[in-house]
Amino acid sequence: MGVNGPHRQSPAGRPEPREIRVDIGELVLDGFGPSVDPGRVSASFERELTRLVREHGVPLAADGAVTVDELSGLPPMPAGLSARRLGQELARAVHAGLSGRGEVTR
């Protein structure tokens, strides 16, 4: 994940990056049945993560550019979710990690 570009001030007076780039190398769906469509999960994940970053930013990057190699310690996902819901929940878990909950490897 990278945060680039000059910062601007938020309404609360904090610096905010003009561009946020999140690169997910691989989204692994171990433990989910064949009925879960990885393409639909990925699309839902991307939409929800984009929404969360726009609304809440990336607290780990509040002081400038940051690169995160791995997020771990995130909550497990229930196996019975639809592809759309699974993508949303995965995005929320990743955003929680980018917000300082979970373990970050830089």
pTM, to two decimals: 0.71
Extract the tokens encoding 23. 């690169």
Q: State residue 75's pLDDT score.
A: 75
Q: Which of 47, 41, 17, 13 is nearest to 29 (CA)?
A: 41
Question: Looking at residue 64, what is its pLDDT?
Answer: 65
State the pLDDT at residue 7: 47
> What residue ranges of the chain have pLDDT lower than 70?
1-19, 60-67, 69, 101-106
Q: Is residue 50 part of a domain?
A: yes
- Domain range for residue 91? 2-6+33-105
Note whether residue 97 is domain-resident. yes
Residue 64, domain member (yes or no): yes
Residue 89 belongs to some domain of the structure = yes
Please, are residues 27 and 90 in contact by the beta-carbon 8 Å criterion? yes
